[in-house]
């Protein structure tokens, strides 16, 4: 872990990894989504609307995985003071929020034909909306602490506290009676026909690779930002120390 | 990298922070479990028939009733838009009446969530019907198979 503490070493790995993840993820994603849209069969009860599955489920997974990344980065920051941890947490927040929003939007579009409603204040739906608001809070907090030069440990604590919502989302359909059906996929078991299962797994992997690529890109951008700022600060200090030409 | 050079007090501080985070996470999980346990009834989206039967809500109070539409119970009244059916959960059954358009996925043997109120005669009058589908995703082609073929295909899927 601490081998990557040096931003230079991180960059030598992140630079070639980003395009590789992006290309592989896009290929997987376009293949599986094309199959899902055009070749997958209609579902017994839901008919053609089942195709939204191939976007909705990966988006939900990445919305929750994004916050898990934030929580792990937050712990790494607080316990080990890993210098890249705060940057990793901030980098995962925006794509995580994006996928949570996609999950909510596609779920709403799917709920209208399947259940007969755009939105219900159900345990699963509400906890997912809470996740989106947690993301907004984290993005605002992490941005503010970085801007004001305050310790990023404040947002790290928020990231750890917020992770409690992730298992609540997962178990909401098991603990409480919910309009949302229980998970179709659990450890080694699937209630999905292979025609739906395999493209779904491929789409999930594709979205995840693209998510990782975006996180790496954002980490590099945040690192570059920090370096540019440090350089500016150094320059300002130097010009303070040296008498400027105007005074001579 | 600097691990080998780390002096003893720094390592101790690291362990203290780790312990602190572990304690904080355990406390958080405990608090969340207690909260969800306390919320177990309030956070449910609907009541199942056995809850409605054993502890009936006051007549006229708005509640949601969820369960399976019992096979063979669905009757369409002569006006064509009023339907009667029975919602069951294996233990108890509640008769439901509803007037209006039903969702596409509403059918016998499938899940339903009805919003409405209990009438004095023990019937549930629904104002809104929501369909609830289960976790199974099965292609439409399987519908035309024989029962044995279908079972084989489903078993292959859930293996």
Residue B126 is part of a domain; what is its CATH number? 2.40.50.140
Q: How confident is the model at residue B80 (pLDDT cuts 50, 70, 90)?
A: confident
On average, the pLDDT of chain A sits at: 90
Of A63-67, A209-213, B34-38, B125-129, which gets the smallest average pLDDT? Answer: B34-38
Strands B124-132 and B93-99: parallel
Which residues are paired to A43 by β-bridges? A47, B139
Structure confidence at residue A54 (pLDDT) = 95
Distance from CA of B121 to the nearest CA of A (A): 26
The DSSP symbol for B114 reads: E
Together in a domain, B66 and B124: yes
Together in a domain, B30 and B85: no
Phi (first) and psi of residue B88, to 5 degrees: -130, 160
Q: What is the number of structural domains in chain B?
A: 2
Instruction: Look at the block and give the residue holding tokens 């306390």.
Output: B38
**What is the span of the domain harbouring residue B27?**
3-38
Q: Does residue B142 sit within a domain?
A: no
Average pLDDT over residues A88-108: 96
Q: Quick one: A197 exposed, middle or buried, by C-beta within 10 A (0-12, 13-18, 19+)?
A: middle
- Between chain A and chain B, the number of residue pairs with CB atoms below 8 A apart is 138
Of A64-78, A207-221, B93-107, which gets the smallest average pLDDT? Answer: B93-107
What's the rounded Cα separation, in Å, for the pair A213 and B53? 54
Of A4-18, A103-117, B87-101, which gets the smallest average pLDDT? Answer: A4-18
Report the residue of chain B nearest A45, measured CA to CA. Answer: B105
Together in a domain, B57 and B28: no
Is B140–A42 a contact, with Cβ atoms under 8 angstroms apart?
Answer: yes
What's the rounded Cα separation, in Å, for the pair A187 and B16? 35
Q: What is the pLDDT of residues A131-188, one digit of tens each?
A: 999 999 999 999 998 888 788 889 999 999 999 999 999 988 888 888 898 888 877 7
Tokens representing residue B100 in the block = 């209006």
Q: What part of A 57-116 touches B (C-beta under 8 Å)?
A: 75, 78-80, 113-116
Structure confidence at residue A244 (pLDDT) = 57
Q: Does pLDDT of B3 surpass 50?
A: no
Structure confidence at residue A150 (pLDDT) = 81
Q: Does pLDDT of B22 surpass 60?
A: yes
Together in a domain, B75 and B120: yes
Instruction: Look at the block and give the residue holding tokens 């549930």.
Output: B124
Together in a domain, B63 and B33: no
Q: Is the dihedral of CA A225, A231, A235, A236 positive or negative?
A: positive
What's the rounded Cα separation, in Å, for the pair B156 and B149? 11
Of A38 and B80, the one with more pLDDT: A38
Together in a domain, B58 and B104: yes
Q: Which of A120, A160, A193 shows the shortest C-beta gap to B139?
A: A193
Q: Does pLDDT of A64 surpass 80?
A: yes
Q: Does residue B18 sit within a domain?
A: yes
**Closest C-alpha to A171, from B33, B140, B11, B17:** B33
Q: What is the pLDDT of residues A191-225, one digit of tens each?
A: 888 889 999 999 999 999 999 999 999 999 999 98
Cβ within 8 Å of residue B140, ≥6 positions away: A41, A42, A43, A44, A47
Q: Does pLDDT of A94 surpass 70?
A: yes
Tell me, what's the ipTM?
Answer: 0.76
Q: Is B87 helix (H, G, I), strand (E, B) or coil?
A: strand
Together in a domain, B126 and B100: yes
Q: How confident is the model at residue A72 (pLDDT cuts 50, 70, 90)?
A: very high
- pTM comes to 0.85
Structure confidence at residue A187 (pLDDT) = 75
Phi (first) and psi of residue B67, to 5 degrees: 170, -160
């Amino acid at each position: 872990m601490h081998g990557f503490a040096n931003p230079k070493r991180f960059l030598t790995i992140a630079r070639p990894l980003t395009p590789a993840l992006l290309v592989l993820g896009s290929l997987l994603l376009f293949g599986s989504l094309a199959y899902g849209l055009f070749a997958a069969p209609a579902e017994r009860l839901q008919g053609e609307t089942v195709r939204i599955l191939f976007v909705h489920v990966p988006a939900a997974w990445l919305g929750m995985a994004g916050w898990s990344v934030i929580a792990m980065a937050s712990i790494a920051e607080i316990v080990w003071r890993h210098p890249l941890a705060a940057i990793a947490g901030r980098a995962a927040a925006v794509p995580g929020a994006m996928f949570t929003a996609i999950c909510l939007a596609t779920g709403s579009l799917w709920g209208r034909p399947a259940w007969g409603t755009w939105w219900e204040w159900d345990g699963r739906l509400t906890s997912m909306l809470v996740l989106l608001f947690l993301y907004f809070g984290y993005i605002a907090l992490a941005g503010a602490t970085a801007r004001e030069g305050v310790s990023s440990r404040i947002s790290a604590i928020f990231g750890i506290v917020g992770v409690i919502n992730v298992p609540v989302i997962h178990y909401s359909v098991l603990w409480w009676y919910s309009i949302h059906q229980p998970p179709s996929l659990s450890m080694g078991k699937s209630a999905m026909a292979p025609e739906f299962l395999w493209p779904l797994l491929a789409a999930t992997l594709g979205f995840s690779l693209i998510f990782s690529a975006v996180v790496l890109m954002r980490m590099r951008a945040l690192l570059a930002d920090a370096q540019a700022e440090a350089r500016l600060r150094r320059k300002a200090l130097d010009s303070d120390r040296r008498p400027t030409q105007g005074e001579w | 990298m600097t691990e080998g050079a780390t002096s003893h007090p720094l390592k101790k501080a690291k362990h203290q922070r780790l312990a602190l985070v572990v304690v904080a996470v355990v406390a958080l999980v405990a608090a969340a479990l207690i909260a969800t346990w306390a919320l177990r009834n309030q956070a449910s989206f609907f009541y199942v028939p056995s809850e409605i039967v054993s502890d009936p809500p006051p007549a006229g109070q708005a509640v949601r009733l969820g369960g399976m539409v019992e096979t063979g119970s669905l009757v369409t009244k002569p006006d064509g838009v009023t339907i009667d059916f029975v919602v069951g959960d294996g233990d108890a059954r509640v008769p439901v009446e509803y007037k209006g358009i039903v969702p596409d996925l509403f059918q016998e043997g499938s899940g339903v969530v009805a919003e409405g109120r209990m009438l004095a005669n023990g019937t549930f009058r629904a104002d809104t019907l929501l369909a609830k589908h289960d976790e199974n995703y099965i292609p439409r082609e399987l519908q035309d198979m024989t029962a044995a073929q279908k079972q084989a295909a489903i078993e292959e899927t859930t293996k």
